Amino acid sequence: MTLIDVHLTPDYTSRALREDARAGLTADPKWLAPKWFYDARGSELFEQITRLPEYYPTRAEREILQARAAEIAELTGAHTLVELGSGSSEKTRLLLDGLRDHGTLTTFVPLDVSETALREAAAAINADYPELTVHGVVGDFTAHLDKLPGDAPRVVAFLGGTIGNLLPTERETFYTSVREGLEPGEWLLLGTDLVKNPATLVAAYDDSAGVTGEFNRNVLRVLNRQLGADFDVDAFSHLAVWNPENEWIEMHLRADRAMRVLIPEIGLEVDFAEGEEMSTEISAKFHRYGVEAELGKAGFTPGAWWTDTEERFALSLWQA
């Protein structure tokens, strides 16, 4: 059985894009938010990134899930798996298999802002796990965590290290709203990339095949298509920098020449100086002590901490 709850109005995404583009392109320094990378082409480029030799996080997290899915089922006794982000990936299936084999799972709840991605994910999982109720939610994980369906105990999975895209204050708000959306005794399963040698980190975000550069520039294509902008995409260079104070990777787009960009749908003219850098993503990296401090502050109790054999990535379990 498949059910879909829609918590977003049809124009939610286009309004949010307009507001973000206005705020970021009139700021100094300029920024664009990483959530706008993921149109069809951007999602395909990200899939390619996950297969690059330099981009270790996907493989490291998969290794942990393969080793620990049964243990996650045992520890949580989950009846419901909620996945933030659409969730029909191989990693989702590793978790679903572990929980199903344990015999307690009844419901899968994928949550995504994209109704198309959500319906595809829900249908794919429904086809392969016909005994589960698939109850999808079209929503924003920064706003609709109080409306999660499914019978308790639920496990909310936030995988891939996407938490690293949030600023520290945004992470605090996110963790608190997850905890408030859960009943005491329910669970959060969190994937976090770990601080390591900067050369390894920079290579993961600046691959030799140039896929991450294409992914980064894709945000300009999204603005060209959605807002009628006239960015000369090829006039921007991809940069990936390790910020040691904040322990995050920053991706930037650097204007290779001075230019004026018109964005008619939001009535903006934006000037770039030659060499001007615009921030497009932060991807924070973590230490165990930092994750424990942040989750503890949000009211979670530690359940488990697992890493891959090379200790590049962590998967951790937290009880509300």
Q: Which one of 49, 109, 190, 239 is in contact with ligand AVJ (CB under 6 A)?
A: 49
Closer Cβ to ligand AVJ, 89 or 162, answer by number: 162
Q: Which one of 89, 165, 218, 279 is in contact with ligand AVJ (CB under 6 A)?
A: 165
Binding mask 210-239 for ligand AVJ (x = CB under 6 A): --x---------------------------
User: What is the rounded distance in angstroms from the CA atom of residue 41 to the CA atom of residue 220?
Assistant: 12
User: What is the rounded distance in angstroms from the CA atom of residue 130 to the CA atom of residue 16?
Assistant: 35
Closer Cβ to ligand AVJ, 172 or 250, answer by number: 250
Q: Which one of 36, 174, 205, 318 is in contact with ligand AVJ (CB under 6 A)?
A: 205
Closer Cβ to ligand AVJ, 89 or 165, answer by number: 165
Q: Is residue 114 part of the contact set for ligand AVJ (CB under 6 A)? A: no
Binders of ligand AVJ among residues 136 to 155 (CB under 6 A) are: none
Q: How far is the CB of 215 from ligand AVJ (least distance, A)?
A: 6
Q: Is residue 192 part of the contact set for ligand AVJ (CB under 6 A)? A: no
Closer Cβ to ligand AVJ, 98 or 160, answer by number: 160
Closer Cβ to ligand AVJ, 87 or 150, answer by number: 87
CB 60 within 8 A of CB 310: yes
Count other Cβ atoms within 10 Å, centred on residue 80.
Answer: 24
Which range, of 17-25, 159-167, 176-184, 265-273, touches ligand AVJ by CB under 6 A? 159-167
Q: Is residue 162 part of the contact set for ligand AVJ (CB under 6 A)? A: yes
Q: How far is the CB of 202 from ligand AVJ (least distance, A)?
A: 11
Calculate ∠ Cα 197-199-205, nearest 5°.
Answer: 110
Q: Which one of 98, 164, 181, 213 is in contact with ligand AVJ (CB under 6 A)?
A: 164
Closer Cβ to ligand AVJ, 17 or 49, answer by number: 49
Q: Is residue 242 part of the contact set for ligand AVJ (CB under 6 A)? A: no
Q: How far is the CB of 244 from ligand AVJ (least distance, A)?
A: 17
Pick the closest to residue 79 from 63, 56, 99 (CA basis). 99
Q: Which one of 161, 206, 235, 263 is in contact with ligand AVJ (CB under 6 A)?
A: 161
- How deeply is 26 buried, as exposed, middle or buried, from its count of CB atoms within 10 A (0-12, 13-18, 19+)? exposed
Count other Cβ atoms within 10 Å, centred on residue 138.
Answer: 21
Pick the closest to residue 63 from 38, 44, 90 (CA basis). 90
User: What is the rounded distance in angstroms from the CA atom of residue 108 to the CA atom of residue 277?
Assistant: 42
Binders of ligand AVJ among residues 268 to 287 (CB under 6 A) are: 281, 283
Q: Which residues bind ligand AVJ (CB under 6 A)?
A: 49, 57, 160-162, 164-165, 205, 212, 281, 283
